[in-house]
Chain A
Amino acid sequence: MLMPVPDAGVIARREELAAALRAVVPTVLSDEDSRRPYETDGLTAYRQMPLLVALPETTAQVAAALKICGAFGAKVVPRGAGTSLSGGALPLGDGVLLGLAKFNRILDIDFANRCVVAQPGVANLSITKAVESRGFYYAPDPSSQVVCSIGGNVAENAGGVHCLKYGMTTNNVLGVEAVLMSGEVVRLGGKHLDAGDYDLLGVLTGSEGLLAVVTEVTVRILRKPETARALLIGFAAVEAAGECVARIIAAGIIPAGMELMDRPAIHAAEAFTHAGYPLDAAAILIVELDGPAVEAEELSRRAADIARAVGATSVRASANDAERVKFWAGRKAAFPAVGRISPDYYCMDGTIPRRKLPEVLAHIATLSQHYGLGVANVFHAGDGNLHPLILYDANKAGELERAEAFGADILKQCVAVGGVLTGEHGVGVEKRDLMGEMFDQADLDQQQMLKCAFDPAGALNPGKVFPTLHRCAELGRVHVHGGEARFPDVPRL
């Protein structure tokens, strides 16, 4: 993975930069041992020691630190809890890692306006914990929710198993305070709805730490549904499971969650959690219906009828909440369960039109043979978000590279059938060089021009998302262009 060429000048001034940062930020880590924990994120295949680690505690400190980094020409990599699966928080050797873990307070719980104001380092689940006594919760629930930070969720536009019905992070964030690389502080949105001007909040969400550092987040909280019921449905063929999903949705039912697992995933999860999954099934679906009791009841009956009509081999409805949680236990532990059957696994994250599922799974099976690596599939079936887990052993020469090539082929196939490279984990460094599969140069240039509006020096998290970095001046020079006849001397980007 090619990262921006480290700036030897900045590296040479490391001590000077550390001293300048220490004057404004209480904690600046420079010795090797204390920097070590920051060298990687959730994508552990990539490692890089940061030049320095700064841990600010206030917005003013963030602003001051960014100004200093700007003055030194030093790059900055923001970091929340470091669970990114796409290498979004991978440090740079000539960059300051700006850790937001000390921003760990919930600032305001406002039940009347149904929102919570939190600092970015607060863990996703802590927001729900803070409001659940009154029957509320924060809807987006990434599997990493115990640790991942709300700031990191905003940066990645994180999802979860409930986002078909309740939306991703972007649909649940009302406002942020953010600091630009210039040190300027902006507030976007608030406790009210919908920007009156350009929706900069919408574009900051999911910007992977490239546009601004988020220092405060306002999220909406929802009333917990009264009941939830889950169906555990077994199928003799993946096609039938896919058909079942399509028919449930065509019947006007939007489940709170609808998850598909293939045979290898079922076996790994069952061995690990004893959730009671049918081991003879080629695929299982977990379908959760929530709402008022009568509604959950009626919809789960309708969904079960559909499942039987498409030839399900087994249909079980949770009789109580304990059983529902048990149905989910295997799915929720699918990643660690796969971790037990293979020394390493590599989690992919493409989205496809659901009707393409059988075709894509067949292609993945072919690739699995071709690369000689196993694969287990878990799938947010409701919204078409596929998570193939590629099994490999990093200690065997060449396996990591084979796993990466396998993963890239899967993502290319996702795009080829009309889908996208990433449904929730972000582009980061991991999928950066695949961006050309989905976007042409004009698309990427327009995105980078937006980046220039926020960060003209390109100092915030460079090397992520975009395969090639243009200098803003270079992009800006091509003011307007059309047909070659009108602008013969203007290069087409």
Chain B
Amino acid sequence: MRPTTADAVEDAVATAAAHGRTLEVRAGGSKVGLGNPIQAHDVLDLSALSGIVDYDPAELVLTARAATPMSEIDAALRARGQHLAFEPPDYRRLLGGGGAPTLGGVLASNLSGPRRIAAGAARDHFLGLHAVSGRGQVFKSGGRVVKNVTGYDLSKLLAGSFGTLAVLTEVTVKVMPAPEDCCTVLVLGLSAESAVELLCAMTALPLDITGLAHLPNGLAARSGVRLVAGAECPITALRLEGIAVSVGARLLRLREAIVERGARHDDTAILGPEDTEMLWGEIRDGLLLPPGVVWKVSVPPAEGARVAAAIAARQHCDVLYDWAGGLLWVALHGQSASPDSVRGVLARSGGHATLVRAPMSERERCPAFQPLSGPLRALSQRVKHAFDPVGVLNPGRMVS
């Protein structure tokens, strides 16, 4: 099924619901490997719902049909010096799949990159939508302006719902001016613990740092940035972006602050714009991770190193730290997903762990999203029911 209009999507979903058939909702197909594997009767291919509907840079909003390829969105924004500030990642290489990421797909999975801590997540930039519910009913929510509180904020709910509540057909996002200039300060040789401490301390300075990551030795070596790969030691990276005079001034102060905290000047280095773009792209897209099982773990940032150590004590792994320690990319050695080793340590710190990559046999056994319990589980099921009462859309993708 490859509908070309929202009405045709409505028809397809209503027909499926009426006949007790389930649908796999697919746009570019680049993220079929995310979430729980599903088995549906038919594929609802949205790829024909493509194209930018309206883009006025001065209004800071862009409206596009849901399956518009990200390459097209990026090109349109770049031509006007703008971007999506949440830094949407491209997981094609990480997941080993093909396809082309689409704007709707990025929003439906609420995927955000390193700038998430400074600029917000995909959900924070998702202003409005047209969609078809699992009831086979067209509906809309939100608007095409940056500030709006009219009615429930269904954009937030549909962001990260992986197509299990409704099929997005048209979306409106907030766009932002892209930074004129950028650079990265590297600190060499820190332990994960000292690195997370440093990163958290630096966020307390008025320096507007937009990327705070730490790469252990083995992962840094996989970078395409020579300085990073050749350092032969763990690398802590801090990114500055903005107008050139500001980046320059903040760079001096950031380096000073790092040295004041005990790093030797020789143990710091600077990356220019090109290397900065490459390194943060690698971090964003999970490209530095070795083959094997990959988890994304979201925790309170100051807990990052402790949680990582607790996981490592149970299971051999490499951990890449993003979001100042708040996001752990955990690459397990071996082919077992080992959910107990990862989720088991979160009880104390709070947070959640998502299985991003694993062999199919493991994905079938281990729920991709942190299982819920008690009233919250029941509430989430009622929410699903409110949109998709007979379970037409992406059955089992989020909850098994």
Do the beta carbons of B376 and A186 come within 8 Å of each other? yes
B177 at the interface (CB under 8 A from A): yes
B311 at the interface (CB under 8 A from A): no
Of the residues B177, B206, B380, contact of A200 by C-beta under 8 Å? B380
Do the beta carbons of B370 and A197 come within 8 Å of each other? yes
B246 at the interface (CB under 8 A from A): yes
Do the beta carbons of B352 and A447 come within 8 Å of each other? no
Provided the pairs A435-B151, A446-B137, A481-B137 are in contact, do residues A196 and B379 lie with their beta carbons within 8 angstroms? no
Of the residues B110, B176, B204, B301, contact of A199 by C-beta under 8 Å? B110
In whole angstroms, how far apart are the Cα atoms of A157 and B243 in the complex? 31
Provided the pairs A180-B375, A202-B157, A298-B245 are in contact, do residues A113 and B140 lie with their beta carbons within 8 angstroms? no
Residues from 139 to 156 in B contacting A, C-beta threshold 8 Å: 139-141, 143-156
**Segment touching B, from A65-73, A230-238, A327-335, A436-444:** A436-444
Nearest chain A residue, comparing its CB with the CB of B128: A420
Residues of A near B242 (CB, < 8 A) are 291, 295
Residue from the set A168, A180, A211 with the largest chain B CB neighbour count within 10 Å? A168
Do the beta carbons of A439 and B145 come within 8 Å of each other? no
Do the beta carbons of A418 and B145 come within 8 Å of each other? yes
**Segment touching B, from A14-22, A393-401, A422-430:** A422-430
Q: A222 to chain B: closest CB distance in Å?
A: 9
Q: A493 to chain B: closest CB distance in Å?
A: 8
Do the beta carbons of A192 and B157 come within 8 Å of each other? no
Q: B105 to chain A: closest CB distance in Å?
A: 17
Do the beta carbons of B124 and A426 come within 8 Å of each other? no
Do the beta carbons of A450 and B148 come within 8 Å of each other? no
Residues of B near A114 (CB, < 8 A) are 200, 203-204, 301
Residues of B near A469 (CB, < 8 A) are none
Residues of A near B141 (CB, < 8 A) are 443, 446-447
Do the beta carbons of A202 and B159 come within 8 Å of each other? yes
Do the beta carbons of B160 and A195 come within 8 Å of each other? yes
A272 at the interface (CB under 8 A from B): no
**Segment touching B, from A93-101, A247-255, A358-366:** A247-255
Of the residues A352, A427, A431, A465, contact of B145 by C-beta under 8 Å? A352
**Segment touching B, from A36-44, A311-319, A368-376, A379-387:** A379-387
A377 at the interface (CB under 8 A from B): no
Provided the pairs A294-B246, A454-B379 are in contact, do residues A205 and B206 lie with their beta carbons within 8 angstroms? no
Number of A-B pairs whose CB atoms are under 8 Å?
A: 307
Provided the pairs A292-B206, A427-B151 are in contact, do residues A480 and B376 lie with their beta carbons within 8 angstroms? no
Residues of A near B350 (CB, < 8 A) are 190-192
Do the beta carbons of A421 and B150 come within 8 Å of each other? yes
B87 at the interface (CB under 8 A from A): no
In whole angstroms, how far apart are the Cα atoms of A134 and B204 in the complex? 9
**Segment touching A, from B214-222, B330-338, B384-392:** B384-392
Of the residues A135, A171, A249, A442, contact of B60 by C-beta under 8 Å? A249
Chain A positions 133 through 162: 1 when the CB is less than 8 Å from some CB of chain B, otherwise 0: 011100000000000000000001101000
In whole angstroms, how far apart are the Cα atoms of A478 and B379 in the complex? 20
A185 at the interface (CB under 8 A from B): yes
Do the beta carbons of A205 and B379 come within 8 Å of each other? no
A354 at the interface (CB under 8 A from B): yes
Q: B7 to chain A: closest CB distance in Å?
A: 10
Of the residues B81, B152, B387, contact of A206 by C-beta under 8 Å? B152
Q: B41 to chain A: closest CB distance in Å?
A: 15
Do the beta carbons of B353 and A196 come within 8 Å of each other? yes
In whole angstroms, how far apart are the Cα atoms of A199 and B157 in the complex? 5
Nearest chain A residue, comparing its CB with the CB of B398: A197
Nearest chain A residue, comparing its CB with the CB of B248: A294
Q: B157 to chain A: closest CB distance in Å?
A: 4
B282 at the interface (CB under 8 A from A): no
Nearest chain B residue, comparing its CB with the CB of A187: B376
Nearest chain A residue, comparing its CB with the CB of B82: A252
Of the residues A197, A223, A252, contact of B81 by C-beta under 8 Å? A252
B273 at the interface (CB under 8 A from A): no
Nearest chain B residue, comparing its CB with the CB of A220: B117
In whole angstroms, how far apart are the Cα atoms of A281 and B361 in the complex? 71
Chain B positions 286 through 309: 1 when the CB is less than 8 Å from some CB of chain A, otherwise 0: 000000000000111111000000
Residues of A near B303 (CB, < 8 A) are 113
B351 at the interface (CB under 8 A from A): yes
Provided the pairs A200-B157, A294-B245, A443-B139 are in contact, do residues A480 and B17 lie with their beta carbons within 8 angstroms? yes
Residues of A near B302 (CB, < 8 A) are 110, 112-113
Of the residues A111, A168, A207, A226, contact of B204 by C-beta under 8 Å? A111
Q: B345 to chain A: closest CB distance in Å?
A: 13
In whole angstroms, how far apart are the Cα atoms of A238 and B155 in the complex? 33
Chain B positions 184 through 210: 1 when the CB is less than 8 Å from some CB of chain A, otherwise 0: 000000000000000010011111100
Residues of A near B147 (CB, < 8 A) are 159, 163-164, 168, 351, 380, 383-385, 423-424
Do the beta carbons of A383 and B151 come within 8 Å of each other? no
Do the beta carbons of B153 and A186 come within 8 Å of each other? no
**Segment touching A, from B8-16, B65-73, B256-264:** B8-16
A491 at the interface (CB under 8 A from B): no
In whole angstroms, how far apart are the Cα atoms of A211 and B116 in the complex? 28
**Segment touching B, from A25-33, A47-55, A121-129, A482-490:** A482-490
Of the residues A190, A205, A224, A447, contact of B151 by C-beta under 8 Å? A447
Do the beta carbons of B14 and A420 come within 8 Å of each other? no
Do the beta carbons of B177 and A419 come within 8 Å of each other? no
Nearest chain A residue, comparing its CB with the CB of B61: A353
Residue from the set A110, A197, A380, A438 with the largest chain B CB neighbour count within 10 Å? A197
Residues of B near A112 (CB, < 8 A) are 200, 301-302
Nearest chain B residue, comparing its CB with the CB of A169: B149
Residues of A near B82 (CB, < 8 A) are 252
B79 at the interface (CB under 8 A from A): no
Residue from the set B14, B200, B386 with the largest chain A CB neighbour count within 10 Å? B386
Residues of B near A205 (CB, < 8 A) are 153, 156
- Point out residues on B near A: beta carbons under 8 Å: 10-11, 13-15, 17-18, 56-61, 81-82, 110, 112, 116-117, 120-121, 123-124, 133-141, 143-157, 159-161, 165, 176-178, 180, 200, 203-208, 242-243, 245-246, 249-250, 253, 298-303, 323, 326-327, 350-354, 369-370, 372, 374-376, 379-380, 382-387, 389-390, 392, 398-399
4 nearest A-B residue pairs (beta carbon)? A482-B14, A202-B156, A252-B177, A196-B352
14 additional contacts (CB under 8 A) given A167-B124, A482-B136:
A157-B149, A198-B161, A202-B156, A202-B157, A249-B60, A249-B177, A352-B145, A384-B145, A418-B144, A450-B157, A454-B379, A479-B17, A480-B14, A480-B17
Q: What are 25 sample pairs from A and B whose C-beta atoms fall under 8 A apart?
A: A111-B204, A113-B301, A171-B120, A184-B375, A190-B300, A196-B369, A199-B123, A202-B155, A206-B149, A206-B153, A254-B177, A291-B206, A293-B249, A294-B249, A354-B59, A383-B145, A420-B148, A421-B150, A422-B149, A435-B151, A442-B138, A449-B387, A479-B389, A482-B15, A486-B15
- Point out residues on A near B: beta carbons under 8 Å: 110-115, 134-136, 156-157, 159, 163-164, 167-168, 170-171, 180, 182, 184-188, 190-203, 205-207, 211, 223-226, 246-247, 249-250, 252-254, 291-295, 298-299, 351-355, 380, 383-385, 418-427, 431, 435, 438-439, 442-447, 449-454, 465, 476, 478-483, 486-487
